[in-house]
Amino acid sequence: MTHDAVTTPAPDAPSGAAALLSAAPERAAAVRRVRELFEETFGAAPEGVFSAPGRVNIIGEHVDYQDGLCLPMAIPHRCFVAASRTDTGILRLRSAQAEGTEEIAVADLDPSAAGGWTAYVAGVVWALGDVIARTDGARGAGLDIVVDGYVPLGAGLSSSASLECAVAQAVDSLLGLGTTPLERVQASIRAETEFAGASTGGLDQSASVLCEEGHALLLDCRDVSTRPVPWDLAGQGLALLITDTRAEHSHVDGEYVARRRDSETAARLLEVPTLRDVDAAGLEDHLARIEDPVIRRRARHVITEIERVREFDRVLASGSVRENVVELGALLNASHDSLREDYEVTVPQLDVAVDAARAAGAHGARMTGGGFGGSTIALVEADAAEAVAAAIAAAFAEHGFTAPVFFLALPSAGAGIDA
């Protein structure tokens, strides 16, 4: 799971159904805004503008640490970075969401002294240090960077990964490093885990760099291989409704550790390296070998969730989303039910959002991310999205929950050069 970097906070939830859906900004306008802030800050136009998206996981939850399969997609909400190379050896950093400008000497980059949003930026430069050192013309360079993020803060949509991956694209381009997309993924992961001191399994960064418009990304956590999977929602009148429940996360870190430990215990009892190695066809026979009912439930979720991702991929390969929307929706529903009953990582807000979406006509709905708060997704008819959102908002009001925030997402492109 990631810690969110500095980016746009979730807005107050609007009350009218017609205003429920919070849209990502028009991309050209976002590029203009970050360019103008750069010029205001540093007195000259940036050499380039770069961006990378947040992500949402369609299916494949709590399986990454058991060598499982995940199916994320990039969302339209992005982090934009305007940047120029300098010869000062200094990083001068500004965020549209924070006051002032920070300065850090590239030669003095040190994970032990890192803190705040700048750690995610400086960490990428640090992680690319070896490549910079062996690239003619890059050694000793500095960078002026302005960041403007639109990935909602605290919704579990990977604002930190979007920042890291946009910066990685900028550093590569401006310093002429010639890194591969996978190398930029790895640098972004190192920035988060080794420099900023947060935790990530790499799904977030892989999606932010490697996703393609109109596609999801099948990620194999065993060998970190990826494959684009057609997921053309817009062309078929469908959309993914994201609901940020705004539920406060409590005891999250300890619960994550406990679930991981339980799954490792299950693998040990079944005498396999990871639960990925368990044949789902003989599931009940395998589970019968686990006496502890809690460990048995944890194992059942991981094994069946990996199989659900395989089935989701098989269904998409057999035809369009529209042709298979009922079966795909059923897999989303089964994923949530497993996360609620067997893995026990949902909270009332997540369950109410999912139940209300299903009752309002969503083809399928589930929590997404680590759970204990965060967001849900619902596969909906595009022209019914506001009605489904209104039903969820009404259910939240009825339960006395904080009003949720909604985002309509279509599968978007990964990191790139905007200007």
Q: What DSSP string describes 15-29?
A: SSGGG-EEPPPPHHH
CA 370 to chain centre: 11
Domain assignment of residue 315, given as a range: 238-409
285 and 141 fall within a common domain: no
Question: What pLDDT is stored for residue 251 in this prediction?
Answer: 58
Residue 4 lies in a domain: no
Q: What are the pLDDT digits (tens) for 377-412?
A: 999 999 999 999 999 999 999 999 999 999 999 999
pTM of the model: 0.91
Answer yes or no: are the C-beta atoms of 252 and 268 closer than 8 Å: no
Mean pLDDT of the 64-79 span: 97
Question: What pLDDT is stored for residue 333 in this prediction?
Answer: 99
Q: What are the two backbone dihedrals, phi and then psi, of residue 315, each rounded to the nearest 5 degrees?
A: -65, -45
Q: Name which of 347, 370, 376, 373 is nearest 258 in CA terms.
A: 370
Residue 9 lies in a domain: no
Q: Is pLDDT of 245 > 60?
A: yes
Query: Which CATH number characterizes residue 103's domain?
Result: 3.30.230.10
Residue 326 lies in a domain: yes
Q: Is pLDDT of 16 > 60?
A: no
Answer yes or no: are the C-beta atoms of 295 and 269 closer than 8 Å: yes
Q: What are the pLDDT digits (tens) for 44-55?
A: 999 999 999 999
Question: What pLDDT is stored for residue 48 in this prediction?
Answer: 99
Residue 350 lies in a domain: yes
358 and 215 fall within a common domain: no
257 and 226 fall within a common domain: no
Q: Is pLDDT of 21 > 60?
A: yes
101 and 223 fall within a common domain: yes
C-alpha span between 158 and 151 (Å, rounded): 7
C-alpha span between 27 and 32 (Å, rounded): 9
Other C-beta atoms within 10 Å of 288: how many? 10
C-alpha span between 174 and 272 (Å, rounded): 46
Q: What are the pLDDT digits (tens) for 331-370?
A: 999 999 999 999 999 999 999 999 999 999 999 999 999 8
Which pair of structure tokens corresponds to residue 184? 């930029």
292 and 360 fall within a common domain: yes
Q: Is pLDDT of 166 > 70?
A: yes
Query: Which CATH number characterizes residue 344's domain?
Result: 3.30.70.890
The DSSP letter of residue 359 is H
Residue 128 lies in a domain: yes
The residue behind tokens 């089935």 is: 311
SS3 of residue 239 by DSSP: strand
Other C-beta atoms within 10 Å of 279: how many? 11
Percent of the chain, pLDDT > 70? 95
Q: Determine which helix (DSSP H) or strand (DSSP E) holds 143, and give its type and residue range.
A: strand 142-149
Q: Mutual orientation of helices 252-269 and 293-318 as an angle, nearest 10°?
A: 90
Residue 189 lies in a domain: yes
46 and 172 fall within a common domain: yes
204 and 84 fall within a common domain: yes
- When pLDDT is cut at 50, 70 and 90, the band that residue 152 belongs to is confident
Sequence-ordered list of residues with C-beta below 8 angstroms from that of 240, at least 6 positions apart, any chain:
56, 58, 73, 233, 377, 378, 379, 380, 408, 409, 410
Residue 10 lies in a domain: no
Q: What are the two backbone dihedrals, phi and then psi, of residue 76, each rounded to the nearest 5 degrees?
A: -65, -20
176 and 288 fall within a common domain: no
Which pair of structure tokens corresponds to residue 390? 């209104």
Count, in order, helices (H) and strands (E) of the chain: 12, 13
Split into its structural domains, the chain has a count of 2
- When pLDDT is cut at 50, 70 and 90, the band that residue 12 belongs to is very low
Identity of residue 323:
E
Answer yes or no: are the C-beta atoms of 374 and 366 closer than 8 Å: no
Mean pLDDT of the 290-294 span: 98
263 and 303 fall within a common domain: yes
Question: What pLDDT is stored for residue 138 in this prediction?
Answer: 95
* Residues with active-site annotation: 204
242 and 266 fall within a common domain: yes
Residue 6 lies in a domain: no
7-16, 169-178, 241-250, 254-263 — which is least confidently predicted?
7-16
169 and 98 fall within a common domain: yes
